[in-house]
Structure 1
């Protein structure tokens, strides 16, 4: 049976779009016939998308010291539906932060705790001025999730 990795990425800028593409491409390049990779905006996510996914990576920006409104909107719409249906779901998180990402990390981790999702790695906080290394870091996170799903680790 095929597994599915869902990447949910808020991409309000060219650089955040580059991060989402890096996540998708790294996982998709790794993917086998047994692993399908999807990329959605948080605005497009419906309850079923996450329910059907075997693993999720969430990419958000930090806006005014908090997660992007698009990401919060997704959680506002779907959280209650996911509580009982998605416990134990492996999840990865990257944050493009203008500040230090602390409040965003805390807020999203609180949501993950409430959903009983299993974070596969410490949140990846990409803060400060743009650095092309961010692309590699996000690709590595996505590749680790894809490999973990494909090998049955997650």
Structure 2
């Protein structure tokens, strides 16, 4: 059984709905060989990354950057996994009140340093909250889990 780790910051009811949508997609009934787990960034650590076969990151845009919680996750995890998890399939969604470019750039820089493998361009949920943000995030979770299940990633 493969493991998909979702590390998503969810400080509000709507961002929690995004994390739950990602988890729901990853647990789709058509995906049988992947266990999906969601952990908030302050609870996730190097041992979680070492035990996973793919990772989905989720964050809010905070002052033009990723959430402090996700940055903390990277600070605690980076050097502990850099040698052993190169090529880890990853994807990202950003809940951005503005344009999300600074958040995206910061995370892409860290992921490049880790040598993780982007399986899809980052998903930006920009502007005022809309319920139609949920479906693309759910599909992103499904896409990553199905790719792991099929051995594509």
TM-score (norm 2): 0.97
Residue 95 of structure 1: how far off its partner (Å): 0.3
Where structure 2 has 5 or more consecutive residues not aligned to the other structure, the ranges are: none
Which stretches of structure 1, 4 residues or longer, exceed 4 Å deviation after superposition?
none
Give the equivalent residue in structure 2 for 1:133. Answer: 132
Residues 18-51 of structure 1 show CA distances to partners (whole Å, capped at 9, x for unaligned) of 000000011112431x211101000001101011
Q: Does 1:108 align with 2:107?
A: yes
Give aligned pairs, total: 152
Where structure 1 has 5 or more consecutive residues not aligned to the other structure, the ranges are: none
TM-score (norm 1): 0.97
What pairs up with 1:6-85 in 2 under 5 angstroms?
6-30=5-29, 31-32=31-32, 34-85=33-84
Give the equivalent residue in structure 2 for 1:120. Answer: 119
Residues 29-88 of structure 1 show CA distances to partners (whole Å, capped at 9, x for unaligned) of 2431x2111010000011010111000000000000000000000001111111101100
How far, CA to CA, are the matches of 2:45 and 2:92 in structure 1?
19
Q: Residue 29 of structure 1: SS of its match in structure 2?
A: coil
Q: Residue 11 of structure 1: SS of its match in structure 2?
A: coil
How far, CA to CA, are the matches of 1:128 and 1:77 in structure 2?
30
